[in-house]
Structures are given as structure tokens and as C-alpha cells.
């Protein structure tokens, strides 16, 4: 699991160093090698990937991505940022820790988006190591400036 996250963090670091943002990071966009050979992961689906200075969501009624992985500030109409990619990384951490997609048992609709904006985050299993849970919570902090950078996650 840590190898997978390290591969994703490495990919995000490269994207962010180039001054770009992924904008659609979620488990379905991770390419994971055969576990018998390696657990390295790569980031795929770069359809929304691009320079951070390009405003992809000029129309606040159009938000791209898989709802549980979209950062609350984006749901509130703010622009995508490197920090919104980090929020998505935190949700991926939870998916790997639980083995379940976030909110798989509820509609991905306005109510879920509103709840995420009001602080709803996936449950953290009791047996999750403290360092892992703490890092996950930092990644999905409601304030984008409180989230770690991709470089921090990779190191």
C-alpha cells in the first residue's frame, strides 16, 4: 500500500513541479503494476491535466471529477489547485486503508457534495496506524493551505 502511495506522490510531485494540476485524481486513474512484480503506481487519465494558471472550471456549474475525490473548495466554486489534488490523494489513502470506495453506499449527488463542503470525510478504521491517519487527515483538511505538498508526501 505504501509503495502505491509513494508512486502516486512521485507522479503528483512531477506534475506540480511542472506547474500543472491533475484535476481528476481518483483510484480509477491509477495504473498499478502486477503485485507479483511490483506495487509501483502511475497516474493515468490526463484529460483534465494542465497548467495551473488555466482556469478549467470557469463555469461554476461545471465541476469535473469523481465527487468523493473532489476537494470542498472546488465544490464551492473555487479553482482547482495543487492542494485540490492533495485532497484527492487523501481520499485515495482512505480507499486503500478500507478497501472500499468512499461513500459507495450513498448517492453521489448534491447532498453528498454539500456534506463534503460541511466537513464530511470518510471514516478512518480504528486499526489505522496513527501516522497514516494523521497524514490522511492533513491531506483532506478543509483549508487548502493546511494540506501538505506532493513533495512532502513523496519524501
Q: Do β-strands 50-51 and 41-43 pair in parallel, antiparallel, or remain unpaired?
A: unpaired
Q: How confident is the model at residue 26 (pLDDT cuts 50, 70, 90)?
A: low
| Residue closest to 124 by CA, chosen among 144, 109, 138 | 138
What does the pLDDT average to over 80-91? Answer: 94
Alpha-carbon span 18 to 54, nearest angstrom: 13
pLDDT above 80 (res 55): no
Cβ burial, residue 63 (10 Å; 0-12/13-18/19+): middle
Contacts with 47 (C-beta within 8 Å, 6 or more apart), sequence order: 24
pLDDT tens-place string over residues 112-121: 999 999 999 9
In-domain check, residue 133? yes
**Residue 152, in any domain of the structure:** no
Query: With pLDDT > 90 as the criterion, what percentage of the chain qualifies?
Result: 51
> For the chain, what is the domain count?
1
Range of the domain at 65: 2-147
User: What CA–CA distance (Å, rounded) separates 57 from 107?
Assistant: 23
Q: What is the pLDDT of residues 123-135, one digit of tens each?
A: 999 999 999 999 9
CATH of the domain at 110: 1.10.510.10
154 inside domain:
no
Q: Quickly count: other Cβ atoms within 10 Å of residue 40's Cβ.
A: 15
pLDDT band per the 50, 70, 90 thresholds, residue 90: very high
3-state helix, strand, coil in the chain (%, to 5): 45, 5, 50
Is 155 within a domain?
no
Average pLDDT, the chain: 82
What average pLDDT does range 135-144 have in this prediction?
97
The predicted structure's pLDDT at residue 68: 93
Amino acid at each position: 500500500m505504501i509503495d502505491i502511495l509513494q508512486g502516486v506522490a512521485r507522479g503528483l510531485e512531477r506534475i506540480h513541479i511542472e506547474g500543472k494540476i491533475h484535476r481528476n485524481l481518483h483510484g480509477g486513474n491509477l495504473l498499478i503494476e502486477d503485485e507479483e512484480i511490483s506495487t509501483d503506481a502511475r497516474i493515468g487519465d490526463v484529460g483534465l491535466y494542465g497548467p495551473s494558471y488555466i482556469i478549467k472550471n470557469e463555469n461554476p456549474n461545471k465541476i469535473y471529477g469523481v465527487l468523493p475525490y473532489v476537494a470542498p473548495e472546488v465544490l464551492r466554486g473555487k479553482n482547482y489547485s495543487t492542494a485540490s489534488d492533495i485532497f484527492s490523494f487523501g481520499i485515495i489513502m482512505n480507499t486503500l486503508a478500507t478497501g472500499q470506495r468512499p461513500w459507495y453506499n450513498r448517492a453521489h449527488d448534491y447532498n453528498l457534495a454539500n456534506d463534503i463542503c460541511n466537513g464530511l470525510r470518510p471514516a478512518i478504521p480504528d486499526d489505522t496506524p496513527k501516522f497514516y491517519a494523521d497524514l490522511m487527515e492533513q491531506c483532506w483538511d478543509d483549508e487548502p493551505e493546511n494540506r501538505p505538498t506532493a513533495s512532502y508526501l513523496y519524501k
